Chain A
Amino acid sequence: MGIKQYGKEMALECYQKMSKIRQFELKAAELFMQGEMAGNIHTCVGQEASAVGACMALQKTDFITATHRGHGQCLAKGGKADLMMAELFGRVTGYCKGKGGSMHIVDIGVGMLGANGIVGAGIPIAAGSALASKIQKTDEVTLVFFGDAASNQGTFHEAINMASAWNLPCIFLCENNQYGVSVCIDRVCNVENIADRACAYNIPGKVVDGNDVFAVYEVVKEAAERARKGDGPTLIEAKTFRQRGHYEGDPQMYKTPEEIEEWNKRDPLPRIRTEILKARLAKKSELDSIDALASKEIEEAVEFAKNSPYPEVQDLTTEVYAVDNERSVIR
């Protein structure tokens, strides 16, 4: 099956989203290293195809939960670059008014239920969202992004078991980028594919090339149909690679030059670009202008963030509780 079957519009939409994510991440990394941002950021350079392919297969009303490496997942689901950039800058105009930062982006409006600083914590939350759809008899699907390392948390096994036992409309999408910080997944997991674990829960387990946006799209689409029909969850493993450090500034001594080189060849961006050009779905100049537009959007997001004010000191004690906040915070 070639790229042609998807048509020009969809191919370019995938490209546009992937380009935007790549540029957001490279810009954020650059600004972080320049000391413009505080704290810590985790970028998803090299993993754009899995986020975009997955979200393209979902409907607007569907939900996702994201990870600590969640900027791309949020943008793929329709999140806004400027609000996210402002949050990374700790500004009051950011998604979380500067209270959460990079690892805690949420945009309920686009179905993005939240990134998470606790590895594996998003998995049961997504299953809970799927449970809510089931209880409320609505037909949304919830997809959870999680890493290879997160699949070793108890939360993964507990949530996937319940999702299977109760036929929940949930998609477990593991972005296997080979590493959890410095530890290669092969050293701490004795199955060849994380998707192989699906058999323990009697649900389908699919391995997919995570750097092929259309391949990801296909498996997620099938899983979403299955979930929406009431046939229960699917475990999908997208094999990919984290091109940059775990965090910005990570010297990455644990990776070999060979594997870096090998995976660079499979970089999802040049790959989709070549495919589009080869299939003559668009001209080079069209792709270039998509890149330029994305670049402009990111530049504007940075300007927006930089020109936004920090939160006020009195914001420190607001929003801890929905009701009776002031008293509950003082005493």
Chain B
Amino acid sequence: MRSISYSKALSEALHEEMIRDESVFILGEDMGLMGSVFGLTKGFMTEFGAQRVIDTPISESGFTGMAVGAAIRGLRPVVELMYVDFATVCMDPIANQAAKMRYMTGGQINVPMVIRAPGGAGRRNAGQHSQSLESLFTHIPGLKVMAPGTPYDAKGMLKTAIRDDDPVIFIEHKILYAQKGEVPEEEYTIPMGKADLKRPGKDVTIITYSREVLFALEAARELEKEGIDAEVLDLRTLVPLDWEAIETSVKKTHRVVVVSEAVKRNGFASEISAQIMEGVFDYLDAPVKRVAAKNVVPPFSPPLEDCFFPGVKDIIEGVKEVIK
């Protein structure tokens, strides 16, 4: 099979959906002429015109709000926030408007919009450009939240997100953009809310998503050398959550490490841990372990950033703690 980058996979998904459905359009900063700062929409403006690939001013609150307005009129806007950190400057259209409209109107309104935004640390972009903010969104009923970790998943999941009738926060990882992986030529989609068993194992389950999936797989390979057989479950979608996949895995391995790049306190790993304790406590042979970032601001200096968020070593340590 051919191998393409995560950013190319996302670009193909956008391209195919724009051809498939005329109501899909893109808006965000530098999306048109420049083809996006990560090159995802190169050539789109020429192909689809400036009405469907819109270069916005630096007005996140305004254009995210406009996406909500266009969505309730039946279009399918795909907004890009250049960094997920900027969601905090346009939280009202996301949290009070898009998320709540269906419910508060007694189901009269669809809000079929996607907000794509790169998150994550590792590029030395410091505190305002390196956060993992998924739990801000998972905490708001009405939003769906996706966070792919591979090119294959990125493409299939973005297509699904665009076709979904609810607002979807689609969190990409900036370090993954250049990462390559197998992606078929043929069209495919990945169902919303379906986790993926990235590696079967019998001794312990590592539950994770986004970039940490790669670290978890590497940790699993290391652990194998020491005779520990780790299962890696990639959630892919955080809301809706694939509880069945979690339950099945826990009942099989009886030990769980939840890994997330977000800061530990109130992070999504805490939610997974709590649900496991509530749901399948009797199957556990050890307390659920969270491996997550420190409760601090992402620092700029490389040696500090390197110990801010969890890497392979931290995951291995976490696994050994629940195994001993």
Contact = CB atoms under 8 A, between A and B. Distances in A.
A292 interface: no
B57 A39 contact: no
A100 B126 contact: yes
Interface string A90-115: 11100010111101100000000000
A52 B85 CA distance: 32
B206 to A, nearest CB: 24
Interface string B29-45: 11001100100000000
A99 B59 contact: no
Contact of B86 (A98, A118, A183, A253): A118
Given A39-B125, A118-B128, A183-B55, A316 B300 contact: no
B33 A183 contact: yes
Interface stretch (B99-107, B134-142, B303-311): B303-311
Contacts of B301: 38, 90-92, 98-99, 101, 310-311
B128 to A, nearest CB: 4
B: contact size bracket? 35 or more
A201 to B, nearest CB: 18
A: contact size bracket? 35 or more
Nearest to B297: A320
A120 B295 contact: no
B97 to A, nearest CB: 15
Contacts of A117: 126-129
Nearest to B37: A181
A101 B130 CA distance: 13
A190 B308 CA distance: 44
A188 B56 contact: yes
B159 to A, nearest CB: 27
A230 B117 CA distance: 44
Interface stretch (A70-78, A150-158, A206-214, A219-227): A150-158
A316 B58 contact: no
Interface of B: 29-30, 33-34, 37, 55-62, 85-86, 89, 123-129, 265, 294-297, 299-304, 307-308
Closest 6 CB pairs of A and B: A101-B300, A98-B301, A90-B301, A39-B124, A182-B34, A152-B57
15 contacts: A90-B124, A98-B304, A99-B304, A101-B124, A116-B128, A118-B89, A118-B128, A121-B89, A154-B62, A187-B55, A188-B56, A188-B57, A254-B33, A311-B303, A316-B296
